[in-house]
Structure 1
Amino acid sequence: MRLTTRGRYAVTALLDLAVQESRHQGAVSLSDIAKRQSISISYLEQLFSKLRKKGLVSSTRGASGGYHLAKPLSEIDVMTIITAVDESVNAMQCGGKGDCHDGSMCLTHDLWRHLSEHIEAYLKNVTLAQLLESRNTQTIADRQERVSIKKDNNINTINLFGA
């Protein structure tokens, strides 16, 4: 089973959005998420378009615009985020079709199907609220915010001196 960057980045970006909303109570820009999480802004735009269509985020235009979570944290589970960006956690080589061995079901088909079901059930039971409550999440978010502010200050200093 391999979860691609699309699913990972979507979960990371929404958790970042949840952290920032809980701290600052305002819309969060994709450029800020991109800086903190080292994800390209164009990739985030693609992901957030899908997340908006699935009703997980809403956007606000304007100078103080950005994104908000469209549902309470306790109602957004990790599996919903992953499927919203057209991602899967299916561990079966055949994608569940049963044609994994020369057009027929392979010997380990049921093993991988059960694993996929367990992973999906686990991710359905993990919400953004639970992830946000994690001490690690808060510690890492603090570090990322400090690094982001430091980078912004360095850029402003460089611009100030015309270098």
Structure 2
Amino acid sequence: MKVAKKTEYGLRAMVCLALSGGQKQAVALPVVAQAEQIPEQFLDQIFAKLRRAGFVKSVRGVNGGYLLSRPPEEISIGELVRVLEGSLSPIGCVTEENSDPGDFCGRFSACHTRNVWLRVMNAITHALDSLTLAEVMHDDVEVRQVLQIDSVSP
């Protein structure tokens, strides 16, 4: 699965928003854009989508900006990714929607490799749905530990 810039930026911006103001204080879009080095116009489009989906609220005025509409503990990373990215399906015959897999490929009922893609989608879905925004914003584990990379001595 390749993640679009919109999803990468959206997740980074949501973490920034959660750390900066959360549900208590609105944060101006230019502040988030500068902190995360995201083009402001692109971020504006992303936040419009997040607002329509109910993840953020906009506040007008001098102290305006955006704030979370729910506590970070109640925001699933899987939900966020699906709103920004769309389906988590790696291939059309295993879409999350209730569409007919036969529309993608006529071999779906006899295809042994379809189970591979189902397992991939289920693993990705489970991994993303099991994380909350709160966990991500407090995750200070080094990348080397997450990737289980041991330091190699020459």
Using structure 1 for the length normalisation, give the TM-score: 0.73
Identity rate, percent:
29
Partner of 2:31: 32
Partner of 2:47: 48
Q: Which runs of 5+ in 1 are unaligned?
A: 138-163
Please state if 1:7 is matched with 2:7. Answer: yes
Root-mean-square deviation (Å): 2.3
Instruction: Give the helix-richer structure, 1 or 2.
Output: 1
Instruction: Count residues in correspondence.
Output: 135
Using structure 2 for the length normalisation, give the TM-score: 0.77
SS in 2 for 1:88: coil
Greater than 6 Å deviation, 4+ residue runs: none
Q: Which runs of 5+ in 2 are unaligned?
A: 143-154
Partner of 1:61: 60
Partner of 2:74: 75
- Rounded Cα–Cα distance in structure 2 between residues aligned with 1:136 and 1:35: 24
The 8 Å contact of residues 94 and 118 in structure 2, kept in 1 or not, is answered as no
Distance 1:43 1:136, change over 3 A: farther
Partner of 2:21: 21
Counterparts of residues 72-151 of structure 1 (less than 5 Å): 72-92=71-91, 94=93, 96=95, 98=101, 103-105=106-108, 106-135=111-140
SS in 1 for 2:21: helix
SS in 2 for 1:135: coil
| Deviations 1:66-122 (CA, angstroms, capped at 9, x unpaired) | 000000110001111112225232212546354598642354221011111111111
Distance 1:101 1:130, change over 3 A: closer
